[in-house]
Amino acid sequence: MSEKINNLPQPQEWKASEVEIIKTKSDYLRGSLKESLADTITGAIAPDDTQLIKFHGSYQQTDRDLDDERKRQKLEPLYSFMIRARVPAGVATAQQWLAFDKLADTYGNETMKLTTRQAFQLHGIVKKNLQQTMKGINDSLLDSIAACGDVNRNVMSTSNEALSPVVGELASFAQSISDHLLPKTTAYHEIWLNKKLISEQGQDEEPIYGKTYLPRKFKIAIAVPPYNDTDVFANDIGLIAIVEKDELIGYNVAVGGGMGKTYGMPETYARLADVIGFVTKDKALDVVEEIVKIQRDFGNRENRKQARLKYTLDRIGSQQFVDLLQFRLGFDLEASKPYEFKSNGDVFGWKKAANGKWFLGLFIEHGRIQNTESLKLKDALKEVAALDVCDFRLTGNQGLVLGYVSARDKIKIQNILSRYSAGDAQQLSGLRKHAIACVALNTCTMAFAEAERYLPSLIEKLEVLLKENKLEQDDILIRMTGCPNGCGRPFLGEIGLVGRAMGKYNLYLGAGFSGDRINTLYKEMVSEEEILTLLAPLFEQYAQERSKGERFGDFVVRQGIVQAAQSVTSVK
């Protein structure tokens, strides 16, 4: 035993990156945010504060569509802010939905975005309205602290209780994880709510994170087989619920997932989490906390491109990581339990849960809640929320579940949605139902190309090819992002499109339909015309030569069109 202890990895000293220095000097995330907000000369905040405001759930952005014109007019960029709310397991009340609907109209761009991490995003908020918007979120009994930044982000969990009798228990655990790992700084209340709180210690401390928080963002998700609708292997920690006789007994623990990488830096990569063992549900929170602490102590604080847990895991070794975790816990993980995922998409339509309540899965294209000439979706959902007869459950696929509906109220909801022709996925192609796109242009500073604004029109053209081959009802996962940072989990798409330049994308193929295998680069820098030209013969070949029940991603791997990339592995 002593030999094993002596062989455990040891933390190393890092030359602190610029962001690490900003965090260290920030006085627990305060920085000069108050002064930045009070500065009326500019619509921006101070450079250091653009890092710190992320911890409070906001990003500074510009309208990139207008950047060139404003530069010609010698004006500063049109700055605005995105605010992301923390919604553990994606479960919100009807009143909270109405609150965000109103905030979007009053301070934002009149739309809401449902994210791939089951959170709300508001866009287009100018600096002078930031504080009022934050207060409005807090008044709804939600908040935005830790929705961004180098901390644990929004904790995901399967949200549709009709899929399993343990979903409600999983949502409660997601809330417990979120609360336990929430930063303890009182800066959020001081800056946004004008409340001076006194911590239990009399001064700010971060018992889990420490003064410099984590080296990078940290993501946790829970899923219950056979539904991997949270893409559990794409997270730093993935918890796979193990259910016996309709009772939750614990979780298989997966560590080291992450989708982001950087062009021109082969040392960065997408990675799926390794399954390292099983833990009973009474010890699961202890395991989660210790994994976070290991990342705090061992993560790279010099190079943010190498700072996620996946790089820590690969640097010290998976088995050594498990040994260290078990040493810190004081107990060993059990061998992982058998499980099987069959899909990672949403389930649409009405489903009845074991508790007798009804749950309605709705299709929301790329998570954008808005009114257009053809579809008044925002109005429809506002009218449903005003009934106050259901809750609103955001999914990991940018979808929505109206939950906990009585049989009596079911018809009221359906009548409203039918009147607006809103949310029905029955007439959609299998490709469109399973599409994910990040925000990208015009507001994301990292985007090289379009995603959300463009993918619907590309799908229209792809649907023509699918219909020619009688594949329009086949479920195929397509993901598009404006850059390789991975917000829309593009490397888990059977078809993945990652922006390289305006109108140009890298095309990836061959991910697993259940999220257990990442895809492989097929062609670089392709235009729309080239995308259609490349996929047309593949769809034809798939229609003619696939095996019974074979998924598109599996087919292109079996045929040698692309080589199989990393799949989920078990360490123990």
Extract the tokens encoding 317.
């070794």
> Hey, what amino acid is at 154?
N
Residue from 30, 54, 84, 310 carrying the catalytic annotation = 84
Give the CA angle between residues 435, 479, 276 to the nearest 5°. Answer: 110
Q: Note whether 478 and 434 are within 8 A (CB).
A: yes
Q: Note whether 296 and 214 are within 8 A (CB).
A: yes
DSSP class of residue 16?
P
Instruction: Please provide residue 450's backbone torsions phi and psi, each rounded to the nearest 5 degrees.
Output: -75, 160
**84 in active site:** yes
**74 in active site:** no
Residue from 30, 86, 217, 433 carrying the catalytic annotation = 217
Residue from 117, 127, 219, 301 carrying the catalytic annotation = 219
Q: Which residue has the tokens 């190393």?
A: 12
- Stated as kind and residue range, the H or E segment containing 59 is strand 58-62
Residue from 30, 113, 153, 368 carrying the catalytic annotation = 153
**352 in active site:** no
Residue from 113, 148, 261, 444 carrying the catalytic annotation = 444
Task: Indicate the burial class of 259 (C-beta count within 10 angstroms; 0-12, 13-18, 19 or more).
Answer: buried
Instruction: Please provide residue 555's backbone torsions phi and psi, each rounded to the nearest 5 degrees.
Output: -65, -50
- Stated as kind and residue range, the H or E segment containing 288 is helix 284-298
Give the CA angle between residues 504, 445, 31 to the nearest 5°. Answer: 160
Extract the tokens encoding 157.
């969990």
Extract the tokens encoding 27.
């006085």
Q: How many CA atoms lie within 13 A of 307 on its CB side?
A: 21
DSSP class of residue 331?
S
**219 in active site:** yes
Q: How many CB atoms neighbour CB 1 within 10 A?
A: 6
**293 in active site:** no
**390 in active site:** no
Cα–Cα dist 512/222, whole Å: 19
Extract the tokens encoding 10.
């040891």
Cα–Cα dist 308/273, whole Å: 12
Residue from 23, 281, 432, 487 carrying the catalytic annotation = 487
Residue from 393, 483, 517, 551 carrying the catalytic annotation = 483
**408 in active site:** no
**444 in active site:** yes
DSSP strand pairing (274-280 vs 247-255): antiparallel
Q: Which residues contact 345 (CB under 8 A, 6 or more apart)?
A: 229, 397, 433, 434, 475, 477
User: Would you name the residues annotated as active-site residues?
Assistant: 84, 153, 217, 219, 438, 444, 483, 487
